[in-house]
């Protein structure tokens, strides 16, 4: 990388990291790598209102998967105007019997129920479980980093929207992460207490090797 390019990236990062005090917004420029503070900014001179509108949440997500859930995200990569603003939104379509499997992320989440009936919950760091049946209009908080889940317990598909206080919340689904990696099965057994057949099953499901 030549020096002038390094300088451009550096100056974009400097202007970005003080985003809250000196500029109104910082629509992500994917020509540059992401930084701990997000992406550098696109030139405001060539933005239009359409850069601040995202219509992707108007359609139901695809629930044809083992969890019977469709998650449609308005995060920085899909909606670059969120970059640097510490906010994002996602749509959850949970089929009958479907779940959002247990997961965590770096930031807090609030869920707003639109249709259907779910049980939603999280597990505190002292292993206390907080869970409750939610119906249309209910909202619930999942505090930052804590493991949490949603289960459709109704007889119809459930629809909810979730908002998170980061443009890139960093989702980590436990079972998927355990199954999708290339750690040797024996190590996974030892660190999870799963038996070998269970480890091989989740590795098959989520594409892990070894
Ligand atoms: C808009 O800005 C980006 C840099 O942020 C640049 O790559 C692009 O060429 C610009 N487009 C126009 C039409 O000026
Ligand atoms: C939904 O996802 C499944 C599994 O990935 C895929 O086979 C199917 O084509 C998708 N359906 C639509 C409408 O995109």
Q: Could you tell me if the CB of 20 is within 6 A of ligand 2?
A: no
Q: What is the pLDDT at residue 14?
A: 44
Closest atom of ligand 2 to 65 CA is: 4
Helix (H, G, I), strand (E, B) or coil at 3: helix
For 91-102, the pLDDT digits (tens) are 999 999 999 999
For 16-72, the pLDDT digits (tens) are 554 455 889 999 999 999 999 999 999 999 999 999 999 999 999 999 999 999 999
One domain for residues 188 and 127 = no
Ligand (nearest to CA of 8) = 1
How many domains would you assign to the chain? Answer: 2
Helix (H, G, I), strand (E, B) or coil at 80: helix
One domain for residues 159 and 177 = no
Q: Best mutation site among 56, 63, 64 for ligand 2, i.e. most ligand atoms within 8 A of its Cβ?
A: 64
One domain for residues 115 and 147 = yes
203 pLDDT more than 70: yes
Q: Is 105 annotated as a binding residue?
A: yes
Q: Is 144 annotated as a binding residue?
A: no
148 pLDDT more than 80: yes
One domain for residues 26 and 95 = yes
One domain for residues 16 and 66 = yes
Q: Which residue has the higher pLDDT, 181 or 6?
A: 181
For 23-33, the pLDDT digits (tens) are 899 999 999 99
12 pLDDT band, cuts 50/70/90, is low
One domain for residues 123 and 207 = no
One domain for residues 98 and 197 = no
116 pLDDT band, cuts 50/70/90, is very high
Average pLDDT over every residue of 149-178: 97
One domain for residues 118 and 193 = no
- The boundaries of the domain holding residue 200 are 171-210
- HSE-CB of 97 using CA atoms within 13 angstroms: 3
**Nearest CA, atom 10, ligand 1:** 46
For 71-84, the pLDDT digits (tens) are 999 999 999 999 99
Q: What is the pLDDT at residue 22?
A: 83
Residue 17 tokens, joined:
């990291």
For 159-168, the pLDDT digits (tens) are 999 999 999 9
Number of neighbouring beta carbons within 10 Å of residue 156: 11
> With contact defined as beta carbons under 8 Å apart, do 175 and 125 qualify?
no
Residue among 89, 86, 75 nearest 25 (CA): 86
What is the Cα–Cα distance from 100 to 98, expressed in whole angstroms?
Answer: 7
Q: What is the pLDDT at residue 210?
A: 87
Ligand 1 centroid–CA 46 distance in Å is 6
**Nearest CA, atom 11, ligand 1:** 46
One domain for residues 139 and 86 = yes
10 pLDDT band, cuts 50/70/90, is very low
Ligand 1 centroid–CA 86 distance in Å is 24
Closest atom of ligand 1 to 29 CA is: 5
> With contact defined as beta carbons under 8 Å apart, do 139 and 106 qualify?
no
One domain for residues 92 and 111 = yes
Ligand 2 centroid–CA 64 distance in Å is 6
One domain for residues 94 and 187 = no
Q: Is 103 annotated as a binding residue?
A: yes
CATH number at residue 144: 2.60.120.10
Provide the strand spans (E) within the chain: 69-74, 88-94, 99-104, 109-115, 118-123, 129-134, 139-142, 147-152, 158-164, 172-173
Mean confidence (pLDDT) of the chain: 92
Q: Could you tell me if the CB of 29 is within 6 A of ligand 1?
A: yes
Q: Could you tell me if the CB of 43 is within 6 A of ligand 1?
A: yes
């Amino acid at each position: 990388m030549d020096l002038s390019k390094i300088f451009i990236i550096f100056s974009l990062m400097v202007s970005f990291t003080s985003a809250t005090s000196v500029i109104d917004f910082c629509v992500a420029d994917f020509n540059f790598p992401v930084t701990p503070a997000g992406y550098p900014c696109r030139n405001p001179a060539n933005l239009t209102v359409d850069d601040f509108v995202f219509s992707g949440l108007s359609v139901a997500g695809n629930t044809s998967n083992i969890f019977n859930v469709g998650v449609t995200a308005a995060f920085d990569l899909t909606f670059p105007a969120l970059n640097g603003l510490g906010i994002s939104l996602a749509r959850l379509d949970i089929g009958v019997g479907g779940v959002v499997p247990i997961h965590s992320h770096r930031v807090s989440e609030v869920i707003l129920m639109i249709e259907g009936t779910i049980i939603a919950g999280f597990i505190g760091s002292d292993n206390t479980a907080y869970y409750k049946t939610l119906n249309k209009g209910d909202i619930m908080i999942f505090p930052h980093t804590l493991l949490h889940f949603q289960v459709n317990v109704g007889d119809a598909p459930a629809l909810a929207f979730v908002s998170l206080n980061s443009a890139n919340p960093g989702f980590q689904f436990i079972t998927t992460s355990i199954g999708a990696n290339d750690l040797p099965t024996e190590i996974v057994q030892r660190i999870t207490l799963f038996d070998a057949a269970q480890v091989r099953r989740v590795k098959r499901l989520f594409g892990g090797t070894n």
